[in-house]
């Protein structure tokens, strides 16, 4: 068990494993009175060339993700977590969390599910394995 956990980062994508990770992160945040930071990634590799060139499409996708991640925030607050914030990044999920989100929010631990619902990379390699290998902090993979 990691001592003095003040910030917990959890990645969500609506997969069953991510929901388990989210529930576990809520439990840990409450137990340790830690801040819960919820992140989700707008994966640009899932867009067609035409969608990627359409700024209105990208804006719509991001707006939907921003609204959806607020639902997670409300669930955490309703569950009794005192401090919750959300972060959205773009790109490949594993790389975006390791290279963009973690340096920005400086969490003590990253909690993630073992399987991703989105992205072609789920067929070629594990986002969880990438984050566990390259994250500069401890990573807890929930299944």
Range scoring the smallest mean pLDDT among 109-113, 121-125, 136-140: 121-125
What are the domain boundaries of the chain? 7-142
Q: For the whole model, what pTM was predicted?
A: 0.84
Q: Where are any strands of DSSP class E within the chain?
A: 7-11, 35-42, 84-90, 109-113, 138-142
What is the tens place of the pLDDT at every residue in 54-102?
Answer: 444 444 577 888 899 999 999 999 999 999 999 999 888 999 999 999 9
d(CA 81, CA 76): 6
Provide the CATH topology of domain 7-142: Rossmann fold (3.40.50)
Contact 28, 138 (CB under 8 A): no
Q: Identify the CA nearest to 32 among candidates 3, 11, 12.
A: 3
CA distances in angstroms from 125 to 24, 41, 79, listed in the order given: 24, 17, 33
What is the tens place of the pLDDT at every residue in 96-107?
Answer: 999 999 999 999
Q: Burial letters for 19-31: b for 16+ Cβ neighbours within 10 Å, e otherwise?
A: bebbbbbbebbee
Sequence-distant (6+) residues with CB within 8 A of 120 are 45, 46
């Amino acid at each position: 068990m990691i001592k003095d956990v003040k910030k917990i980062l959890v990645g969500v994508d609506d997969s069953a494993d991510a929901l388990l990770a989210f529930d576990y992160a809520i439990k840990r945040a409450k137990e340790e009175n830690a801040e819960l930071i919820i992140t989700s990634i707008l994966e640009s590799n899932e867009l067609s060339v035409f969608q990627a060139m359409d700024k209105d499409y990208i804006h719509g996708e991001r707006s939907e993700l921003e609204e959806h991640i607020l639902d997670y925030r409300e669930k955490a607050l309703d569950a009794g977590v005192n401090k919750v914030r959300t972060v959205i990044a773009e790109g490949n999920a594993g790389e975006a969390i390791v290279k963009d989100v973690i340096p920005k929010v400086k969490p003590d631990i990253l909690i993630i599910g073992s399987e991703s619902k989105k992205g072609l990379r789920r067929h070629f390699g594990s986002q969880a394995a990438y984050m566990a290998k390259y994250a500069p902090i401890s990573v807890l993979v929930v299944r």
